[in-house]
Every structure is written in C-alpha cells, then in structure tokens.
Amino acid sequence: MNKIIIYDTTLRDGAQTEGVSFSVDDKLRIARRLDQLGVDYIEGGWPGANLKDIEFFERIKHIKLTHARLTAFGSTRHRAQTAKSDPNLQSLLLADVPVITLFGKSWDLHAEQVLGVTLPENLELIYDSLSYLVSKVDEVIYDAEHFFDGYKANPEYALQTLKTAESAGVKCLVLCDTNGGTLPDEVGHIINQVKAELSTPLGIHTHNDAGLAVASSLTAIKYGARHIHGTINGYGERCGNANLCVLIPNIKLKLRQDCISDEQLTQLTELSWFVSELANLRHQSHQPYVGESAFAHKGGVHVSAVQKVAHSYEHIRPELVGNKRKVLISDQSGQGAIVYKAREYGLDLTKNTPEVQQLLAEVKQRELDGFQFEGAEGSFELMVKKAKGLHKKLFELIGFRVIVERREHDREAWAEATIKIRTPQGVEQTAADGDGPVDALNCALRKALEKFYPAIKEVKLIDYKVRIINEHEGTGARTRVLLESGDEESSWNTVGVSANIIEASWQALVDSIEYKLLKEEMQQEPE
C-alpha cells in the first residue's frame, strides 16, 4: 500500500486568509507542531515576496525538524530574465532548503492574457526555471496552476505544460484547482487522462470556492494522486484550501491509507485549536472531526442511543482524532442526557433517581423562560449539585442598587453599584465604581466576598454576551446574558435571564462566583 504524502501549505496559502497575519514566531511554532503531526512537507512561504518569509527561512535553519521537509515556494522566471539572473529564483535558492515548489501557468488564458507571453514562450519559462532549480536542490515540485480550468479550455496545451515540467526532471506534478470550481467527477476524469500520458507521480492542490476541495482531493487519491496539498482548518484565500483536519482522518480512517501514525492522529484536534489561536480566528465549532460540535449530541433520542451503542450516532470514536463526545442540555434533552452529565460531575444518577425527573422538568421550564444551558454548563452543574444537596448557599442577596449618571461636563457616563449581602460571617455592605453598570455590580460583589473567600480573586471575566430573546416586545423584551469566566486552571459558562439586563447579569455573575467556590470546596474535600 503506497503512503499518501501530506504537503502542508498553512504558512503560505493559509496565511493568505482574510484577517490572518502570522508573525515569524507564529510560523516557527506552527512548523514545529506540523512536524510533530507527521506531515511530509511544510511549505514555509515565498522568500522572494516579503521580508517576513525571508526571516522565517533564516531562523528555521536553527530548528531541527524530525520528519517534515521544509519547502520554499515561488514562480517561474520573469520573461525578461534568464533563470540564473531571475531574482525570484535566486531568492528561493538563498532560502537554503532541500525542496522548492515552483508554480507555472497551465491555462492558455493565463499565459497569453495575464503573463503576456506566447504559448511557446510559456513552455520555455517552465522548462528553464525548473531545469535550473533541479540542478541546484535535492527536490523540485511543480505546481501546475489553474490546471483543471486549463485542461477544460485547451487539453493539448495543458498536457504539454506538464510534459515540459516532467522533462525538466521534477519529482512531482501537482495539479491545481486554483479557482476551486471543478467538480470531483471532473477531477477524477482529468487525472485519469493525465495519468495515461505521464510517468511522474501526481499530486492535487484544491481550493474550496465551490465547497468541494476535500471531496476533489479524495477523488484525486482514488484516481492515483499520492501527493496531497492542504492547510490546517482549511485556511486560505477567498473560501480557503482543502482542509487537512478533514482530509487526513478521511484518508486514514475512511480510505484506510497510510499518511500519519495513529498516535499522531490523536494530536489533530489540539493542533487545529492551536493554529486557530495563532491565526486569531474563532475555532470553527461545526468543523468535521476536530470541531467542538463534531461529536455533540442534543436530541434526547440521540443521547440515549449513543450511550448504549456509541457508533449508533457517531461515525468514528472521537478519541481517534483527539476530540471528545459532548452531551448538550436543552429543552430537547431526555433523562439520558441528565444522567450522562451528572456522571461527568462525579454523581451516580440513574433514570429512576427522583432528582433526574426534577432536573429535567426544571431545565425544560427554564429553557421556555429563555435560559440556554448548552452554552452555560456551569449554571447547569450548579443546578445538579443543588438538587443533590451538594451545594450549600455561601451568601444571599439582601439588595443592590446600581446608579448610572452623566453630568453636563462629563465626557462619559459613570456607574456605581451598592450591594448588601448576608454571609455566614454576617451582613456585608459595599460599593464600587465600574466602567458600566454590570462592571460596577461585579466589582461590588467581589469586594463584598473576597475577604471571606479569597479564591474569588482568581476569577477573570473572559466574555460577556447579551441576546434579546423576544425582540417583538421592544424595550420590554427579555434579555439573556451569557458569561464566560475562568481561572488559571479552567473556564466555565453561566447564564441569567430577565427583562432587566442588570438582573440577568446578576444571575450569571452569582452563578459564576458560586461555581468557583463550589470547585474550590470539591478540591479541598479529602479523598
């Protein structure tokens, strides 16, 4: 069985994603992780295009890659230059890497109307550039840009460009669906035709403009391509490239072809999150295999079935790709979901446990009122532990008041909150200012409690989201507040709902603080 070669272009094609700007340090960190994943080639960038890529290739010389071959990317020579004098080709050689990937024009339209050369001249550019580089480095890969569009427009000429590259001595011919609009069956048919004319190994490089990049890459493998290009999370210009986080598990688990090891496959989800963090993009929760929702179950029938037979609603075991099953609590939940979540919290409940019915009824009623527990598991965990008598109330509200004021000469409005609470140690009343009414309330609550519960100082507010539930009620609409809080060890989400945004925020704030204190209490309990 021939191994499928994985060629990663996250650092070059992926960096062309709108809104993404990897620093050199980011690129070095990603390169290390890609090497650990077991990809065969890492395309570091275009050293002739910008100073950042030049610095990357200089600094990565001091990093030892254990598996992957580092690759520099560039284009065929300028029509007014010789290969030896072309600055772009010389920049590729100065990168001092074992592999160079060069792209050239396969579509007659691009040769004549974009480059402004004749079709024979384009063949000369391809041959001169590739043969020169073949004499200088260990390995040269040829990217046949726009190949599928070129083949559909002029198959004889598109094939001629490949034969020219083959005669120059390249190790692989990569057929590119650069505009991303070719259908998978077209990809398969064209590769079949090309394979009959050439002996050099074939690769595939697809873009996702028609949502078909992964499907076309898998089809290409079926028809003999062995050199597969893609990016982590499918990042890339316009609609992105073939997503390696989908391609790799499909190759290994569905096609049952070798590409990376079983152990390396378990790193895939973590790497997907790692790259999205460095890209400063929100991780795609519904992404297959590695998304947070890839193995999430919400419907009661689904949850019940998956607890009995996991593959009844899961096409693979999530652990194979380093992911995990997630059961969501909502008004669609059944008893099985309550039992499953309780066991996650260390509570041995069964469907016959009285608290299960009580909790299920409470969830359904509160979701009707506007609460949303699938995004606020901290609040749900508190509900479960209250139902089991494992949560003792550490404080209760006597009252609070929030003032928002702006005077004539003030540049901005200011907020002050006063709060009175009862604790086991007595009544505490405090006041605090804040950037807004919710911030002031949060500061006042912390100020009142921190002297009794110092662990609260560790809690940081990570995210604050507000959603209007019944917009048609206008200013009287109910508001849902979702808070994400965290400490050095973990993060948790809590929810509050009210027609008053301050009251909804208070509910979520209280749950957040109580969750932290309950967590501290559980950690201090003897084994």
The residue length of the chain stands at 527
Q: How far apart are CA 190 and CA 151, in angstroms?
A: 8
Are 104 and 129 in contact, with CB atoms under 8 Å apart? yes
Q: How far apart are CA 55 and CA 11, in angstroms?
A: 13
Among 282-296, 362-376, 491-505, which is the least confidently predicted range? 362-376
Q: What is the pLDDT of residues 287-332, one digit of tens each?
A: 999 998 999 887 767 777 887 888 998 999 999 999 998 776 665 6
**5-260 CATH:** 3.20.20.70
Question: Over 80: is that where the pLDDT of 357 sits?
Answer: no
Domain locations along the chain: 5-260, 296-387, 396-524
Are 49 and 77 in contact, with CB atoms under 8 Å apart? no
Q: What is the pLDDT of residues 88-107, one digit of tens each?
A: 999 999 999 999 999 999 99
Element (H, E) at 428: strand 426-434
Question: Over 60: is that where the pLDDT of 164 sits?
Answer: yes
Who wins on pLDDT, 35 or 395? 35
* Exposure letters 374-413 (e unless 16+ CB within 10 A, then b): bbbbbbbbbbbbbbeeebeebbeeeebebeeeeeeeeeee
- pLDDT at res. 527: 47
Q: What is the pLDDT of residues 424-473, one digit of tens each?
A: 888 889 999 988 888 899 899 989 888 888 888 998 888 888 888 776 66
Mean pLDDT of the chain: 90
- Tell me what the mean pLDDT of segment 150-157 comes to: 98
| % pLDDT > 70, the chain | 95
CA-angle at 384, arms to 380 and 385, nearest 5°:
115
Q: Is 450 exposed, middle or buried (0-12, 13-18, 19+ CB in 10 A)?
A: middle
| % pLDDT > 90, the chain | 60
Q: Is 298 exposed, middle or buried (0-12, 13-18, 19+ CB in 10 A)?
A: middle
- pLDDT at res. 333: 66
E strand spans, 86-185: 99-105, 139-145, 172-177
Q: DSSP 3-state assignment of 125?
A: helix
- Tell me what the mean pLDDT of segment 59-63 comes to: 95
Q: How far apart are CA 369 and CA 503, in angstroms?
A: 14
Categorize the per-residue pLDDT at 524 as very low, low, confident or very high, splitting at 50, 70 and 90: low
Backbone φ and ψ of 112, nearest 5°: -80, -40
Looking at the DSSP bridge assignments, the partners of residue 388 are none
Within this chain, domains 5-260 and 396-524 share the same CATH topology: no
- What top-level class would CATH report for the domain 396-524? alpha beta
Question: Over 90: is that where the pLDDT of 71 sits?
Answer: yes
- Tell me what the mean pLDDT of segment 164-188 comes to: 98
- Tell me what the mean pLDDT of segment 487-496 comes to: 88
